[in-house]
Amino acid sequence: MSSMPSLVYQDPNTYRPGVCNIGPAEITRRRRSGHASLIVSIVLFGALVAVGAPHWTRLVLVLTASGSASGYLQAWFHFCAGFGSRGVYNFGPTGTVEQVADVDARSRDRRRSLEIGLGSLAIGLIVGVAAALLPV
């Protein structure tokens, strides 16, 4: 007989080191940031193509696409990279934070913050280089 692991309910509105450090209000804020940066990326790409700017100038999209990816990744993971780096979390109203007291928890939060940052940069680089290589 195979033993299946039991599923344990984990409240998404509870701080978990390296896993979850923001609640619904902050998640919404990160998602909106992702949307805004995506719109900027699309408009900027369109403008660069429309004015006939050199292809290499499209590499500026690395910045805006990284910003968009960061917002979306943070919303997806329910984890704010900035909060993780600072050792704080927030499940209340936007703009309020609580300190993470445990040293090990802060270390796990910093690691997740770094992962989100590197992931965002990788996505931004892919988008920027792809935009620069497009023949339009």
> For the segment 49-104, what is each residue's pLDDT rounded down to a tens digit?
999 999 999 999 999 999 999 999 999 999 999 999 999 999 999 989 999 999 99
Please give the pLDDT value at position 8. 55
Structure tokens at 119: 């992931």
Helix or strand run (H / E) with residue 118: helix 103-133
Q: Is 1's pLDDT higher than 60?
A: no
Nearest to 23 by CA among 82, 86, 96, 72: 96
Domain ranges of the chain: 24-90+97-131
- CA distance linking residue 78 with residue 27, whole number of Å: 6
Beta bridge partners of 89: 98
Q: Where are the beta strands (DSSP E) in the chain?
A: 88-89, 98-99
Q: What is the mean pLDDT of residues 4-9?
A: 55
- The whole model's pTM is what? 0.89
